[in-house]
A and B are shown apart, each in its own frame.
Chain A
Amino acid sequence: MSVKETNDPKIIAFCCNWCTYTGADLAGLNRSHYPENVHIVRVPCSGRVNPQFILRAFRNGCDGVMVCGCHPGDCHYSTGNYFTRRRFTLMKRLLEYNGIDPGRFHARWISGSEAGKFRDTAEEVTAMVRKLGPNTRYREYARREMSADE
């Protein structure tokens, strides 16, 4: 199986349980509509997000990745998001080096009360990723690996 050649991007959003995940729940409570393309993976802290997860997503043909955590200074675990910030500044450059457009990757700070910001971010990132088109960079590689598995 491989990602279909449509321009309906798949976006994965790693969201901190304490802020952005709550903010996304609040967006639901407010019935704030955003594109179906965004899929949330719940993590305890944005600092939990291992760069490996993101590389895997892009390798598998995921079109966009978001990492969302608490605003700097407001981390539920006091310092986790500072590491996130540092880690993903470097991450962007690594992606660029690997031929992935940095516009496919977004690290954002969205608190539990910022439902509107979550909706806006989801819309904005989806629009941007849609503009970039499908992520086919590792399609061939993935296909080969999968057929080797079989």
Chain B
Amino acid sequence: MSKIGVFVCHCGTNIANTVDVERAVASARELPGVAFASEYKYMCSEPGQQMIKDAIEEYGLDRVVIASCSPRMHETTFRKMLKDTKVNPYMLEIANIREQCSWVHTDKAKATEKAIRLIRMSVAKAARDEPLFASSIPIEKRALVIGGGIAGIQAALDIADAGHEVALLEREPSIGGKMAMLDKTFPTLDCSACISTPKMVDAGAHPNIKLLTSCEVVKTEGYIGNFQVTIRRNARYVNHDICTGCGLCETKCPVKTDSEFNHGLSKRPAIYKLFPQAVPSKPVIDKNSCLKLTKGKCGVCEKVCPLGCIDYADEDREFTETFGAIVFATGYELIDWTALYGEYGGGRYPDMLTGLQFERLVNASGPTEGHIVRPSDGKEPKTVAIVKCVGSRDPKKGKSYCSRACCMYAAKHAHQILDKLPGTRVFIFYIDVRTPGKGYEEFYDQTRKDGAIYVRGRISKIYKDGDKLVCNGEDTLLGKQVKVMADMVVLETAMTPSSGIEELATMFGVARDVNDWIQEAHPKLRPVETQVGGVFLAGTCQGPRDIPDTVAHASAAAAKVVSLLNKSEMETSPMISVVRREHCCGCGACEKICPYTAITLEEIDDRVGAKRVKRPIASVNSGLCQGCGACTAACRTGAIDLLGFRNAQILEEVDALCL
């Protein structure tokens, strides 16, 4: 007979207010196999844990049931505690009587009854617990950072500085991301490029960092410590091993196509560097616009290149590498407002810019060398309307969330206009002004003093009248309709997750939230981890944030990666599938259903009656099995079972409930 100890936690008043703990303990004492039952205010606390350890000693308990908060909260805590005792850490069951009982019910009598049933179920399962032993796997001491924006760069630098190898993967031809496009950063107004390019150069030159630009992840296998990631390097058509980045080819290329870095405000050649400070500072050929690659004629760059770097026969290439940890730093994109806001003209008017387009316009290295002029006619605007929350905080048309950075960069845009074009009238239409950050409120205040006119209300319609953009809206503080005849409109649009995030998240099995941002493991306590071991988050892939928060988040992710890579091996969960050979008929149903190819059929020598035969049976690779249990439900003979969640254990739970 097993000797089970039942420990019921009050969780302060969280449980005790709704569940009669004493009654729960009394009824637990009556259950078969229970040798001891007790209660305590906080089981997870030091004295609570000591109490359990003492009881194990005193009553010779061989398994433990703790009725408390969710096992997702403290299962690891209690397993660790059991390591110091005679009880195997896996001889533990947790009855979730907080999240799934006391917090969701109000009737004390009924909640107590339910708690008693939940404890009964856990006791029944515990009676069939068996000792399990974790094994360990080696950790590949390399990290892959996906996304070469400021988050990825920061995470890569921090991991590399700690002495581990990092591959920094970016699908564009250069690292730098969105921050490289920005002109100045709030609230200090230091030049974005001046603070980000040194970091880019550091990342490019760091002996521990390998840059994988023009690369994308196509496939991944494995698990924490051993991810096998297949990466595709898209053809560059330029041999970067010999190219010196002299730039002669770019000046001679006859093609002119929209520059993605300047968001269509200027043109670039088909052989190009993303921007002048690109890292690596070497050009690539855009296969969609290159005349040689699309029509088969031209070849000018090949002729002018003094080193013969041009290789039109270059092809996409796939290779597989192993990494111990992965950092998602895939960043954001701006929402496509043209598809959503027909009332703003749906993109018909060239003098309506997004925030990022305005950043390029006002940037000294941008298409107008920093002169704020209308793209349509090159004239300086006399009146500018800045519209905030376009696509943000708009559940009907866009996203319900706040994009967090727009209030501040809208103030910065207003400041820049007033600074470069004194006397310009700048209207900012807002819902609320949100400035939570060091020096942010002061910056906003200064912008108002500089002359920006803040109007509280959304813009309902923007249309063209002559060469003016008429903005109709409401000043909700005055309760009056307003109409601004603007020369230029800047839309501060919502941040959305980068394209391709769905595929990437699915590949790694990482969850996304309702808005497709990557879901962190816990909103407060595990903000840089995901549910998938070894996959971490840095920056805006997890949700909108500004640069200081992004950098902090990235460094935090790096710290997590470093603490993982500092270990040489790690424990794996022993809760994996096992095969009872004598019951296995070798049908192979489990082999087909296993998502990790952890099951193979192996041939064994067996005997049927007096005859010796060879027959196949299933065999589980403990390194690959992740413990999902899909095989157990597929098995016709019940030969394959999941340790920790054996068929018999779950059936015991079912029986215990139905008593």
Query: Is B657 touching A87 in the complex (CB atoms < 8 A)?
Result: no
Does B110 make an interface contact (CB < 8 A)? yes
B630 contacts A47, CB within 8 Å? yes
Please, which residues of chain A bring their CB within 8 A of the CB of B596?
Answer: 77
Inter-subunit contact A48/B104 (CB<8 Å) = no
Q: Are A73 and B647 in touch, CB under 8 angstroms?
A: no
Whether A28 lies near B99 (C-beta < 8 A) is yes
Cβ A48 vs Cβ B630 within 8 A: yes
Residue B525 interfacial (CB < 8 Å): no
Residue of B nearest to A18 (CB): B531
When chains A and B are docked, how far (Å) is the Cα of A43 from the Cα of B632?
A: 12
A residues 27-50 near B (Cβ < 8 Å) are 27-29, 31-34, 36, 39-45, 47-50
- Docked CA distance A52–B104 (Å): 29
| A113 within 8 Å of B (CB atoms) | yes
CB <8 Å contact, A49 and B633? yes
- From B107, B630, B655, B657, A77 is in contact (CB under 8 Å) with B630
Contact of A62 with B630 at beta-carbon distance under 8 Å, contacts A29-B99, A36-B110, A44-B645 already known: no
Q: Are A53 and B650 in contact (CB under 8 A)?
A: yes
Q: Is the CB of A50 within 8 A of B628?
A: no
- Chain A, residues 53-92, CB within 8 Å of chain B (1/0): the string is 1001100111000000000011111111001000100000
What chain B residues lie within 8 Å of A62 (beta carbons)? Answer: 654, 657-658
Contacting residues, chain A, for B651 (C-beta < 8 A)? 52-53, 56
Residue from A28, A77, A78 in contact with B70 in the complex, judged by beta carbons closer than 8 Å: A28
**Is there an interface contact between A113 and B519, defined as CB atoms closer than 8 Å?**
yes
Chain B residues, CB < 8 A from A100: none
B98: contacting residue among A28, A42, A50, A61, CB under 8 A: A28
For A77, what are the chain B residues with a Cβ–Cβ distance below 8 Å? Answer: 509, 595-596, 626, 628, 630
A7 to chain B, nearest CB (A): 14
Which stretch (B77-85, B111-119, B360-368, B554-562) binds chain A? B111-119
B658 touches A61 (CB 8 A): yes
Complex CA distance for A28 and B101, rounded to whole angstroms: 8
Instruction: Tell me if A50 and B658 are in contact (CB < 8 A).
Output: no
Q: Tell me if A102 is interfacial: C-beta within 8 Å of chain B.
A: no
On whether the beta carbons of B653 and A50 are closer than 8 Å, the reply is: no
Flag whether A126 is at the interface (Cβ < 8 A).
no
CA distance A14 to B532 in the complex (A): 22
A134 contacts chain B at the CB level, 8 A cutoff: no
Assembly CA distance A113 to B99 (angstroms): 14
Q: Within 8 Å CB of A76, what residues of B? A: 509, 511, 531-532, 628
Number of A-B contacts (CB under 8 A): 145
Whether the pair B628, A73 counts as a contact (CB closer than 8 A) is: no
- Chain B min CB distance to A12 (Å): 6
> Are B642 and A10 in touch, CB under 8 angstroms?
no
Q: In this assembly, does B105 line the interface, its C-beta being within 8 Å of a C-beta of chain A? A: yes
A45 pairs with B654, CB closer than 8 A: no
Q: Which chain A residues in 86-117 approach chain B with CB under 8 Å?
A: 87, 111-113
Q: Let me know if B654 and A44 touch, CB within 8 A.
A: no
A44–B642 contact, CB under 8 A?
yes
* Known contacts A12-B657, A27-B104; A36 and B629 CB within 8 A of each other: no
A48 engages B633 (CB within 8 Å): yes
Q: Do residues B111 and A36 form an inter-chain contact, with CB atoms below 8 A?
A: yes
Q: Is the CB of B654 within 8 A of A57?
A: yes
Least CB separation from A48: chain B residue: B629
Tell me if A3 is interfacial: C-beta within 8 Å of chain B. yes
Q: Chain B contacts of A19 at CB under 8 A?
A: 511
Other-chain residue from B113, B514, B647 in contact with A50 (beta carbon distance below 8 A): B647
B627 contact set on A, CB distance < 8 A: 44
Chain A neighbourhood of B657, CB < 8 A: 10, 12, 39, 57, 62
**CA–CA, A43 to B642, complex, Å?**
10
B595 x A3 contact (CB < 8 A): no
Q: Quick one: closest B residue to A13, CB to CB? A: B100
Give Cα distance in the complex from A19 to B106, angstroms. Answer: 25
- B631-659 contact mask (Cβ, 8 Å, vs A): 1 or 0: 01110000000100101001101110111
Number of interface residues of B (CB under 8 A): 52
Given contacts A50-B647, A61-B658, A87-B633, contact A44 B628 (CB under 8 A): yes
A24 proximal to B (CB < 8 A): yes
* Partner of B72 from A21, A32, A111 at Cβ < 8 Å: A21
Residues of A within 8 A of B118 (CB): 39
A148 touches B (CB below 8 Å): no
> Contact at A43–B650, with CB atoms within 8 Å?
yes
- Whether A60 and B113, one on each chain, are in contact in the complex, defined by CB atoms closer than 8 angstroms, is no
In the complex, the chain B residue whose C-beta lies closest to that of A87 is B633
Q: CB-nearest residue of chain B relative to A142?
A: B658
Chain B proximity of A69: nearest CB distance (Å): 11
Asked if A80 and B628 sit within 8 Å, CB to CB, the answer is: yes
Contacts of A12 in B (CB 8 A): 654, 657
The answer to whether A78 and B121 have CB atoms under 8 Å apart is no
**Closest residue of chain B to A31, judged by CB?**
B103
Contact assessment for A47 and B655 in the assembled complex, using a CB-CB cutoff below 8 Å? no
Q: Bound complex: CA of A147 vs CA of B32, how far in Å?
A: 19
| Candidates A43, A57, A79, A87; contact of B595 at CB < 8 Å | A79
Give the residues in chain A near B98, CB-CB below 8 Å: 28
By a CB distance below 8 angstroms, the chain B residues around A40 are 96, 100
A112 to B629, CA, bound (A): 20
* Any A CB within 8 A of the CB of B575: yes
Q: Does B347 contact A (CB under 8 A)?
A: no
B593 within 8 A of A: yes
> Quick one: closest A residue to B644, CB to CB?
A44
A33 to B114 alpha-carbon distance, docked (Å): 14
Counting CB contacts under 8 A, is B71 at the interface? yes
Per the bound structure, the CA–CA distance linking A51 and B595 in Å amounts to 20
List of B residues within 8 angstroms of A32 by Cβ: 104
Which residues of the other chain, B, contact A113 by a CB distance below 8 angstroms?
513-514, 519
- Complex CA gap A39/B659 in Å reads 13
- The yes or no answer to B188 lying at the interface (CB within 8 A) is no
Determine whether B563 belongs to the interface, using a CB cutoff of 8 Å to chain A.
Answer: no
- Is the CB–CB distance between A33 and B106 below 8 Å? yes
Are A52 and B645 interface neighbours, CB within 8 A? no
- 15 A-B pairs with CB atoms under 8 Å apart are A33-B105, A36-B113, A39-B657, A40-B96, A43-B629, A44-B629, A47-B633, A53-B647, A53-B650, A60-B655, A62-B654, A62-B657, A77-B628, A78-B506, A87-B633
Closest CB pairs A-B (n = 7): A28-B99, A48-B629, A60-B658, A77-B628, A28-B103, A47-B630, A25-B99
Q: Can you add 8 more A-B contacts, CB < 8 Å, to A36-B111, A53-B650?
A: A10-B657, A25-B72, A48-B633, A50-B647, A76-B509, A77-B509, A83-B633, A112-B511
Residues of B in contact with A (beta carbons under 8 Å apart): 70-72, 96, 98-101, 103-107, 110-111, 113-114, 117-118, 121, 506, 509, 511-514, 519, 531-532, 575, 593, 595-596, 626-630, 632-634, 642, 645, 647, 650-651, 653-655, 657-659
